[in-house]
Amino acid sequence: MGELPPQVQNMVAQLQQIQQQLQAVMAQKMQVEALLKEASEALEEVQNAPEDAPIFKVAGSVLVKVDKEKIIKELQEKKETYDVRIKTLQRQEERLKDRLNELQKKLQSMLSPQAG
Amino acid sequence: MGELPPQVQNMVAQLQQIQQQLQAVMAQKMQVEALLKEASEALEEVQNAPEDAPIFKVAGSVLVKVDKEKIIKELQEKKETYDVRIKTLQRQEERLKDRLNELQKKLQSMLSPQAG
Amino acid sequence: MGELPPQVQNMVAQLQQIQQQLQAVMAQKMQVEALLKEASEALEEVQNAPEDAPIFKVAGSVLVKVDKEKIIKELQEKKETYDVRIKTLQRQEERLKDRLNELQKKLQSMLSPQAG
Amino acid sequence: MGELPPQVQNMVAQLQQIQQQLQAVMAQKMQVEALLKEASEALEEVQNAPEDAPIFKVAGSVLVKVDKEKIIKELQEKKETYDVRIKTLQRQEERLKDRLNELQKKLQSMLSPQAG
């Protein structure tokens, strides 16, 4: 890359930075989606349980018996929190993808000025 | 590889693709086999438990007490699902191995045409 | 690095060793902080549970019903142990960072003696 | 290594193979030692529990209530199995280390025949 003009080198560095940010955001989104799936499955299982079925909550290395209504509310709140975080990460992902496309177009027009 | 004829290069590329697909299929099979083993062990434990032994099901961060007959049916269905997936993956594995052998033979005959 | 004087090479080797030690200490600190967080969450959950709520402790592949007062004491002791270990690791981290700064300054003054 | 005599090359290859086997055996030993520690902790917890404390066993995604005497016996048998496997792995480790030392001495005497 030593032969590229400084302006192009700078743009390539920006591109790489944005790609790294995009990868980090997508990895985070996948993690939160897994947590959402887990909470959804737990909620479904609790809701499908008979009214008087004992339910325990895992908290680290301890299990505590919980009230059915309380754990349903807790899991629903968890799901909403995860939903909000996923939407935030999705917006960040889209913005980064837009900037990536923009930069790639600019870079292409700089590298083939005759086509500009 | 720059010195190889395009036809051979193309075949080597195909070989590598199939090897990657084969590795992916074998990794998936190992994962489903682990899930099958886990479900089998759970089922065995449940079936060997005294008739009135309380049984809980893990669902994410929550444990819910379940009926013995219901969880046996659920684990048996899980096992069948895993069995079907393993058989599908095994068929894919065999087909990929056949194609790999075929391509390797073709490649050998192309690289030593005097032996053909 | 073959062109550097032995004294400088020796100092660079020391720097790298300290950086590795620092990374190991920081990784250990993060692990104990995760254990502390887990114990804190378990303790909070237990303390917020109704007085008569059954509580189980996870011990390997076994769950054992525990007395509320006993598990609270156990989790508090765990937290204190983790706290002490984190403080020890923090002191180690600071001492290593100090030595790193010191060595980096010495190295800079050796590499630019005219500035000394 | 192209300049080394075939006999030496062959010995170096043997050395590398034994080192890999040694690493595999040591990794296995560490895994079984972790399982032994887990079983020991579970056994201790069960033995220290009050006589009438309910105990559950984790089997995959299911928890089954178990009899105290039965789970103690099961954990003791597990511990014995792990103990035997660790001793077998230890013997393998020692034999591989002996062969490694032997080969390294032979290799050294071959590379410095004047010292022989």
Please tell me the distance in Å from D11's CA to the nearest CA on chain B.
32
The predicted complex's ipTM stands at 0.78
Question: CA of D49: which chain C residue's CA is closest?
Answer: C64
- Residue D7: the pLDDT is 87
D65 vs B49: CB contact, 8 Å cut-off? Answer: yes
Tell me if D61 and B56 make a contact (CB, 8 A cut-off). no
Chains touching D, CB cut-off 8 Å, 3+ pairs? B, C
Which residues of chain D neighbour B75 with C-beta distances below 8 Å?
62
D69 inside 8 A of chain B by CB:
no
In a domain, A36, yes or no: yes
Residue D116 has pLDDT above 70, yes or no: no
Structure tokens at A115: 């086509």
Give per-residue pLDDT as tens, D35-94: 999 999 999 999 999 999 999 999 999 999 999 999 999 999 999 999 999 999 999 999
Q: Kindly report, residue by residue over C42-93, the tens digit of the pLDDT.
A: 999 999 999 999 999 999 999 999 999 999 999 999 999 999 999 999 999 9
Q: Is residue A1 part of a domain?
A: no
Q: Does A53 touch chain B (CB under 8 A)?
A: yes
Instruction: Tell me which residue range forms the domain holding B82.
Output: 6-111
Q: Determine the average pLDDT of the residues in B11-34.
A: 97
State the smallest CA–CA distance between residue D51 and chain B in angstroms: 17
Of B60, B61, B65, Cβ closest to residue A53: B65
pLDDT reported for residue B102: 95
Assigned domain for B29 exists: yes
Task: Answer whether C57 touches A (CB < 8 Å).
Answer: yes
Contacting subunits of A (3+ beta carbon pairs below 8 A)? B, C
Q: Which of C59, C61, C65 sits opposite D54 (nearest CB)?
A: C65
| Rounded mean pLDDT, A23-28 | 98
The residue of A43, A52, A55, A78 whose CB has the most chain B CBs within 10 angstroms, and thus the best one to mutate to test that interface, is A55
Q: Mean pLDDT throughout A45-57?
A: 95
Per-residue pLDDT at A52: 92
- Residue A11: name the closest of A1, A22, A26 by CA: A1
At residue B114 the predicted structure's pLDDT band, cuts being 50, 70 and 90, is low
**pLDDT tops 60 at residue B1:** no
Residue B1 lies inside a defined structural domain of this protein? no
Does position A7 have pLDDT exceeding 60, yes or no? Answer: yes
pLDDT of residue A116: 39
CB contact residues (below 8 A), chain C span 77-106, against chain A: none
Q: Is C71 in Cβ contact with A61 (below 8 Å)?
A: no
Helix (H) or strand (E) holding D57: strand D55-59
Q: Which residue has the tokens 């500009």?
A: A116
Give the tens place of pLDDT for each residue, B43-99. Answer: 999 999 999 999 999 999 999 999 999 999 999 999 999 999 999 999 999 999 999
> Cα-flanking dihedrals φ and ψ of residue C107, to 5°?
-60, -45
State which residue of chain B sits closest to A40, comparing Cα positions.
B60
pLDDT of residue B116: 40
Read off the tokens for C52. Answer: 């008569």
Task: Report CB contact under 8 Å: B59, A53.
Answer: no
Q: How far is C88 from chain A (nearest CA, A)?
A: 24
**List of chain D residues whose C-beta atoms are within 8 Å of the C-beta of residue C65:** 49, 53-55
Chain C nearest-CA residue for A70: C49
Cβ–Cβ under 8 Å, residues C42 and A59: yes
In-domain check, residue C116: no
Q: State whether residue B60 sits within 8 Å of chain A by CB.
A: yes
CA distance linking residue C2 with residue C20, whole number of Å: 22
Q: Give chain C's domain count.
A: 1
Confidence band of A113 (pLDDT split at 50, 70, 90): low
Q: Residue D1 falls within a domain, yes or no?
A: no
Q: Is the CB of D75 less than 8 angstroms away from the CB of C65? A: no
Is A116 among the domain residues? no
Query: Which contiguous run of DSSP H or E holds residue B5?
Result: none
Sort out which chain D residues have CB atoms less than 8 A from C57's CB and list them: 45
**Three-state SS at B116:** coil
Distance CA D70, CA D86 (A): 24
Q: Which residues neighbour D99 within 8 Å (Cβ) at sequence distance 6 or greater?
A: D18
Q: Tell me if D45 and C62 make a contact (CB, 8 A cut-off).
A: yes
CATH code assigned at A79: 1.10.287.370
Mean pLDDT value across residues A38-46? 97
pLDDT-derived band at D111 (thresholds 50, 70, 90) equals confident
Where does the pLDDT of residue C116 fall: very low under 50, low under 70, confident under 90, or very high at 90 and above? very low
How many angstroms separate the CA atoms of D38 and D33, rounded?
9
pLDDT: is A35 or B109 the higher one?
Answer: A35
| CA distance from start to end of chain B | 22
C45 part of a folded domain:
yes
Contacts of D97 (CB under 8 A, 6+ apart): D22
Crossing angle of helices A68-111/A6-48, nearest 10°?
160
Picking from B60, B61, B64, the nearest residue to A49 by CB comes out as: B64
Q: Which chain C residues are within 8 Å of D60, Cβ to Cβ?
A: none
Please name the chains neighbouring C, where neighbouring means 3+ C-beta pairs under 8 angstroms: A, D
The larger pLDDT score, comparing residue D2 to residue C50, is at: C50
